Amino acid sequence: MRRTRSNEIQMMKVVRAILVTYAAVVAGITALEALAVSFGNILDEIDATTLKAEAIKIGIRKKKKINKMNLASIASKLANAIFSYGNVTDDAEMAYEANYPEYKLKRMKDIKLVSVCRDILLIGQSNKTALEDYGITASDLTELDAAIAVFDAIIPASQQEIDNHKDLLEHIDELVVAGLKLLKLKMDRLVKVAAVANPEFGKLYIKARAIDNFVGKRRKRIPIKGCGIIIGTITNITDGGVIEDATVTIVELGLSVETDEDGAYYFESVPAGVYTLKVSAETYLEEVVLKVEVLEDGECTVDIVLNADLSAPVTPPVS
């Protein structure tokens, strides 16, 4: 999702949190209360649509990752045999062209991986009789050929999945535009009326409406009265390494961010209160942290460690 759109959604969610916090003030103006309900419904639909879009995106990514690991494993078996054969026959060029252990193949860019695996397959097919002494059979060559074809087809993903994901993102855009229009044309004006009797509510609302408060992964620290900050780092329990692209959610507010390359996450303009944090990441067990207290003008640091999901499916063989 585009950063600008993400910032707008986060701004809208903070506005909703403020409306909930000041529910008694909102209820004092019938028209404002009705708008708050409509605004909440728009955000609920944005959340639901975002979950659908993310599910498709994760599905495409996971399918590709599983098949990439499978392809690298199959190709490395043939590459190791060719490398050994090249060394025994003093064919330095052959050994060089097959010097691809599994870990190197797994780290390659998708297009390069397909190209390298095809080269390995061609060498294997040209020397299949000699490679039998190194444990390579005709079925190994067939298996690699099939794995290459499967992964090559997955790289662009299925067009239907891509189209569905695109349609959902466009619907989110439409919902955000509707929400912003509701704020600008109606709610801003009614909040000014409510602010006459409760100026603190008005000030908090106006500051929350500034999208500039939500710029970048490490957002600008513009203090908003009545709000605090939640920051932290997500790591794994195995070696303490950071986890990039983990999703951290404030359950009560419906706000979510992803960790950066340093495993860091950052929430700003969080209304003071007690919240539940939920963290999820591919191949890790979900972690829930209860009773995270955010103080007014305070900074709450919550570092979270994730356990590997040992029940994650094993890479299936390519038939």
In this predicted model, what pLDDT tens digit does every residue of 74-105 receive, in sequence order?
Answer: 999 999 999 999 999 999 999 999 999 999 99
Q: Tell me how far apart the alpha carbons of residues 310 and 143 are, in angstroms, rounded to a whole number.
A: 27
In this predicted model, what pLDDT tens digit does every residue of 141-185 receive, in sequence order?
Answer: 999 999 999 998 887 766 677 788 889 989 999 999 999 999 988
Instruction: Give the pLDDT confidence score for residue 317 in this predicted structure.
Output: 41
Burial zone of 17 (CB within 10 Å; 0-12 exposed, 13-18 middle, 19+ buried): buried
| Residues 285-294, mean pLDDT to the nearest whole number | 92
Amino acid code (one letter) for 53: A
Instruction: Give the pLDDT confidence score for residue 267 in this predicted structure.
Output: 87
- Residue 318 confidence (pLDDT) above 60: no
Indicate the pLDDT class of residue 215, thresholds 50, 70 and 90: very low
Could you name the CATH architecture of 222-310?
Answer: Sandwich (2.60)
| Residues 286-305, mean pLDDT to the nearest whole number | 90
Q: pTM to 2 decimals? A: 0.49
Measured from the Cβ of residue 38, the count of other Cβ atoms closer than 10 Å reads: 13
Domain(s) of CATH 2.60.40.1120: residues in the chain: 222-310
Task: Take residue 134 and report the two structure tokens written for it.
Answer: 């190194």
Q: Cα separations (Å) of 272 from 76, 79, 227, 300?
A: 54, 58, 5, 11
Looking at residue 229, the DSSP 8-state letter turns out to be E
Instruction: Give the pLDDT confidence score for residue 262 in this predicted structure.
Output: 80
What is the percent of the chain with per-residue pLDDT over 70, rounded to a whole number? 90
Cβ partners under 8 Å of residue 265, min gap 6: 231, 232, 233, 234, 246, 248, 257, 258, 259
